[in-house]
Structure 1
Amino acid sequence: MTKETDNTRTELTKTQKNRLVLMICIILTFTVMNGTMFNVAIPDIAEDFNLLPSQVTWVMTGYILVFAIGALMYGKLADIYPIKRLLTFGIILFATGAAIGLFSQNYPMLLAARLIQAMGGATIPALAFIIPARFMPKERGRVYGTVSATVAFASGLGPITGGLVGGAFDWRYLFILSILSLFSIPFLRRWIPDESVRKGTVDIPGAAMIAAAIAGLLFAITALSLIGLFVFITAIIIFVFHVRNHPAPFIDPSMLKNKYYTTAVMTSFLGTSVMFGMIFIVPIMARAVYGLDTMEIGLLLFPGALGAALIGQRGGYFVEKKGSYPVLQVAFILAIAGSLLISTFIGLPPYLLALCILVQYTAFPLIQSSTANLLTELVPEEKTGVGIGMFNLMNFMSGAISSAIFGAFLDLERVSLQLNPFALSEDIYLYSNLFLAISIIALAAIVFFTLKFRHRISPQNKKFS
């Protein structure tokens, strides 16, 4: 039996905790695969609808944009409404979008399906990081490691599945797997502890302003639009004035005044842009440079995802035992090394490139688990939902912005400028330069984090004080 106190803190047995972690991993698998399955199908979608890379990127960018806003919104809602109720609603909406996508006959219909999916699917990663902090605080480091390992493995399983289904049938059939997420509802209804509704309000106008700002920024990047830039700047200015007069704004300014919290979120933002950049570029590069089909692209990514899953699981234990900083430091070293290796060895046989991807892929779960654990230490317990929500918002926004930027560069198709002196031929300079830029972003992230947090690190055990 569970014991519930006035502040909704629920004490769970070991069996209940194991079931809850299993449930988190199952529903996360559906969501993550939904994203990475379509990564490898992007060349096929572009071919079917005759789209440029900057246009087809909205299959991912639009999805991630709505996901980003939803992640923070659901994080805020989780501080008010029961997690069980939010997840049930989200999964039903997620499957509804998938049903529409299954029958999509044109690009606007496909985008609509993806946006509806995102509206519902945003509940899953948002709440997957809140559940351990709320119901398993003593084990949250290990659970974050398991969650991040699941994300990494599912991100690799997605391309394989996408390759099999898309290669044998049609990319539209990928939506069937997302519809299967409905079968998780009876388990989450049974295994997630009951909670009562708490006091609180949701700043809908503020959420709309942030959504407009992010959409304007992405439109400015992808279409080089001055109108998009104007929308972005205007929405930000209006939101700043809105925050000053709203008692519970969509983004809590008091949290942003905490320089350690802001630094951790921004470090995660940069780290996620590194990983999303790699995952977005590789399928397009593999098709252009190696002529790989959808299935082969999935096989190229899978070793990295499998290695990341194994490393991520152990990373959770290291976070719990050693603290977040050393794990985060190792993660960025792997990200820097991996992107440099990819930049250098593009053009060599695919199996060698897969080993380079493996190095960078393993950084992803370590960045996620260490920063998530750190953030739960930096925010008050009653603001865990919105604190993790901001973490998710910035991560998904990072993915959307990085995909949009890299998509715009990929439109160039051919570049004569060689930034990496070890690049093999002029045909791959564009991709080599992009991965060199990714390594610089990763280096900047860990330097930024180290400088800001150097006074909070104990020299004896590297744990945060």
Structure 2
Amino acid sequence: MSVTKNLSLVKNQNFLIVAIALGVILNPLNTTMITVALPEIKNEFMLSSKDITWLIASYFIISAIFLPLIGKLSDFYGRKKIFLFGLLLVGISSFTAPLSPNMPFLLAMRTIQAIGTSALYPAGIGIIRSTIEKNQNRVIGTLSVFATTTAAFGPTISGLLIQQGGWHVIFYINFPIIIISAILAVLSIPNDEKKTARTFKWDGIGILLFSFLITVWMYFFQTLETGLNLWTFIGSLALTLLFYYFEKRKDEPFIDVVFLKKNLNISFVYVQYILSTLIFFALLLSMPIYFQSVLLLSSKQTGIMMLSISIFGIIMTPLATRWIEKLGYRIPLLTGGVIGLVGVILFLTINHDSPLYWIFLVLSTIGISNGILNIGLQTLLFSFVSVSETGTASGLFMTSRFMGNILASSLFGVMFATGVNDTNQSWMTIILIVVSVILLPGILFITKGKLVTNTP
């Protein structure tokens, strides 16, 4: 399934890019907007910290599963159809989620929302690859950055909105984005070509195995607070190995493990992105709750404090891009890693007596680091792959982001199982310091001998 090319591509190219850009931001925004709402949701439904963690983690698990799946479905059944269907699902879930009478209903609506938002990125990237020829990789790279850096704005937006209308209003903010994206998509995206004789081959077993292994790993991490569950750990490893060997033998696998094995540089970029996302999102998830539970800030004040991460992350993205063009990848990425390590270490100085300006400055270092690492790792990825591999590589890159998110939410659940306080925040910070240290040699490895002339 492909997209018809015609004269409307030239006339409506900017509208097409805007339509897709608005669609792809729905996933990162809805991933993080809920963080500021968690204390209110927890109190309304009388939930534990572990219950709240599953509300977050389920969104990541669903997204990690459906991103590569829907990417393939859009290739067969039409990218425009899948894109518009994704917007429809987000619209339905955004309307019904605020009406949730209990936690299971809210969880179900978040699941539908996750499926809908997961459809938008792979279908959108496929549309770009089929309709835009000039500077195609740069457009894809820009959309990829757009789809990740906007996550930092989620807590700020929700903080300001919750102050006015409670946690329910964070779902309504989706409607202007959905409506504008849908109108522009209908007008500017060419219609899908008629279905060819080729049929879609469902890797049902692969999908189930991947779903089970992510869920079981999630459960293993969640139960670490009570000690090492050996049988769960063995089961997680067994499912991972079973998934690998099963997918290895498939002609059209759910996850192309052979591609990852043959392209170790690409695989290591994914690993680095998982680690950097783990650090970034663990703080993005924990700090809003820490602000409201320990520092007793309002949701509005919390949103303003979280601007430190989003603003500096956005500022650093174009600066880091120019820096990479001049010096290559190693120095910028290594600098971003070092700044992140320093920032995480400085979190050990934060407690309930810390002045807000100091917390703002410390959070800013995380924003600077994430801005550099985010754009650096994405452009580094595209320098390793050909144009024909861009779609597969981009989809797996987004999946790796959700793997990092899953680890971050698991860490959050374990560290704050006994409550949100200075001690638990410090223990989580120590773990993030270890992750930050591990990140540095990985950066040195993936940038070894990498020349700036290889950038797209």
TM-score by length of 2: 0.86
Alignment of 1:321-400 (within 5 A): 322-346=327-351, 347-400=353-406
Alignment of 1:222-371 (within 5 A): 222-224=222-224, 229=233, 232-257=236-261, 258-319=263-324, 322-346=327-351, 347-371=353-377
Distance 1:69 1:169 in 2: 33
Q: 1:300 Cα deviation (Å)?
A: 0.8
Number of residue pairs aligned between Structure 1 and Structure 2: 444
2:145 pairs, out of 122, 143, 148, with 148
Partner of 1:171, secondary structure, is coil
Distance 1:304 1:228 in 2: 36
Partner of 1:290, secondary structure, is coil
Distance 1:264 1:243 in 2: 21
CA contact (8 A) 2:34 2:158 kept: yes
Percent identity at matched positions?
21
Q: 1:133 Cα deviation (Å)?
A: 5.7
* Gap change, CA 1:303 and 1:20, over 3 Å in 2: farther
Aligned position for 1:216:
216
CA contact (8 A) 2:337 2:436 kept: yes
Query: Which 4+ runs in 1 deviate beyond 6 A?
Result: 6-15
Partner of 1:246, secondary structure, is coil
Moved more, 274-283 or 194-203: 194-203
1:91 pairs, out of 87, 90, 93, with 87
Aligned position for 2:63:
67
Please list the CA deviations of residues 135-194 of structure 1 after superposition, one character each: whole Å capped at 9, or x if unmatched: 356363476346525743x43443233223322222123221224443121212333355
Say whether 1:441 aligns with 2:399.
no
Alignment of 1:168-187 (within 5 A): 168-183=164-179, 184-187=181-184
Distance 1:367 1:292 in 2: 30
Moved more, 19-28 or 252-261: 19-28
CA contact (8 A) 2:329 2:447 kept: no
* Gap change, CA 1:128 and 1:345, over 3 Å in 2: farther
Partner of 1:457, secondary structure, is coil
CA contact (8 A) 2:3 2:78 kept: no
Please list the CA deviations of residues 88-121 of structure 1 after superposition, one character each: whole Å capped at 9, or x if unmatched: 1111112222222121011111111111100111
Distance 2:429 2:21 in 1: 30
Moved more, 308-317 or 288-297: 308-317
Distance 1:85 1:265 in 2: 29
CA contact (8 A) 1:260 1:453 kept: no
Structure 1 segments unaligned to the other structure (5+ residues): 1-5, 415-426
Residue 203 of structure 1 aligns with an amino acid whose one-letter code is D
Q: 1:255 Cα deviation (Å)?
A: 1.2
Q: CA RMSD in A?
A: 3.1
Distance 2:357 2:124 in 1: 34
Q: 1:281 Cα deviation (Å)?
A: 1.2
Distance 1:182 1:142 in 2: 21
Residue 221 of structure 2 aligns with an amino acid whose one-letter code is I
Say whether 1:30 aligns with 2:35.
no
Q: 1:215 Cα deviation (Å)?
A: 0.8
Structure 2 segments unaligned to the other structure (5+ residues): none
